Chain A
Amino acid sequence: EVQLVESGGGLVQPGRSLRLSCAASGFTFDDYAMHWVRQGPGKGLEWVSGISWNSGSIGYADSVKGRFTISRDNAKNSLYLQMNSLRAEDTALYYCAKGRSVGWGTPSWFDPWGQGTLVTVSS
């Protein structure tokens, strides 16, 4: 069974940093691109970032570009999101999701999703 488990969320002050992790199991991790998608409280889904199977290609939403860094460790079957210069508007439930194939672009879809880890940015 494919499983994605996020961790690392918490309460952080504006301007500070946080690192999220996603532990993957049940599939050959380095055969697939991975993504981070977030959902603000009471809001819709927003794609944050995607990374190809070998980290050779990476993309970010404009809202996080220059502040967030996605990475992966295929030896540890893990995905990460380093979040710097956090803002109140970054408050959200952060999901990791598996892509369809090696690249993070189209054609693809997000399946499955983890249960998410909550990040709250507040003073």
Chain B
Amino acid sequence: QSVLTQPPSASGTPGQRVTISCSGSSSNIGSNIVNWYQQLPGTAPRLLIYSNNQRPSGVPDRFSGSKSGTSASLAISGLQSEDEADYYCAAWDDSLNGHWVFGGGTKLTVL
């Protein structure tokens, strides 16, 4: 069971806006930044959003991140077929001398 909680699946049609949630606690999301990773089928993960809401160069502005309290969200607007992938949130956890934790991942299906 993952420390950060994500819905196992999400779906949308092309052009729609979808949101993926990530729920944590005061020791992780509540006190540290959240990062999001995208894993396309058969490939390594890549950084999608860092520091809650920042996009690395090359990531389309259709992707956005937000954080409030002990929860974070990833929003994808103008959904495209190539967005079909697994999405993971991650954060530092202050407990147990500090360590990194991930969400269980959300599989996004573009219908």
**Chain B positions within 8 Å of A95 at CB level:** 44-45
Show the binding face of B for A, using Cβ within 8 Å.
2, 32-33, 35, 37, 44-47, 50-51, 56, 88, 90-92, 96-105
- Indicate the member of A45, A100, A116 with the most B CB atoms within 10 Å: A45
How many A-B Cβ pairs are below 8 Å?
65
Q: Which residue of B lies closest to A107 (CB)?
A: B33
Q: A59-B98, A59-B99, A106-B92 are in contact. Are A45 and B33 (CB under 8 A)?
A: no
| C-alpha gap A114/B100 in the complex (Å) | 18
Contact status A44-B104, CB under 8 Å = yes
Contact A45 B88 (CB under 8 A): yes
Check A115 against B45 for contact (C-beta < 8 Å).
no
CB distance from B87 to the nearest CB of A (A): 11
Interface membership of chain A positions 80-123, coded 1 if the CB is closer than 8 angstroms to chain B and 0 otherwise: 00000000000000010000100001111111111110000000
Among A105, A110, A115, point to the contact of B47 (Cβ < 8 A): A110
